Amino acid sequence: MTLEPGWNWEKHVKPRVNTKSCEVPHTTLIVSGRIRNIMDDGSETDGGPGDVAIVPPGHNTWVVGDEPCVAIDFTGVEDWVKVHGAR
């Protein structure tokens, strides 16, 4: 997946799913760009090229900086798209 600069879950996904935070778990490899996750408990993680992340449900995510974030999401996105569509 490619997430463009300025993309964030709260702005681009939350209005469609109407949940407090992302309820989908992700296992992700970041190819390029940077991303930040903040969990419902307030803890934060950042990721960049070469990082692998296991992000449990209950998070908000956004792109950090001016470069698109290209990532391979081994779990999560495919299931979400099946339910909500790729708009």
Which domains, and CATH codes, for the chain? 2-76 (2.60.120.10)
Distance CA 79, CA 83 (A): 7
What 8-state DSSP symbol labels residue 72? E
End-to-end CA distance of the chain: 13
Distance CA 5, CA 76 (A): 21
Question: For residue 74, what pLDDT is reported?
Answer: 87
Edge to edge, the sheet with strand 26-32 lists 2-3, 69-75, 26-32, 52-55
pLDDT in tens, 63-86: 999 999 999 988 866 665 555 555
Among residues 60, 69, 71, 65, the alpha carbon closest in space to that of 28 is found at: 71
pLDDT in tens, 8-63: 999 998 998 889 999 989 999 999 999 999 999 999 999 999 999 999 999 999 99
Question: For residue 87, what pLDDT is reported?
Answer: 47
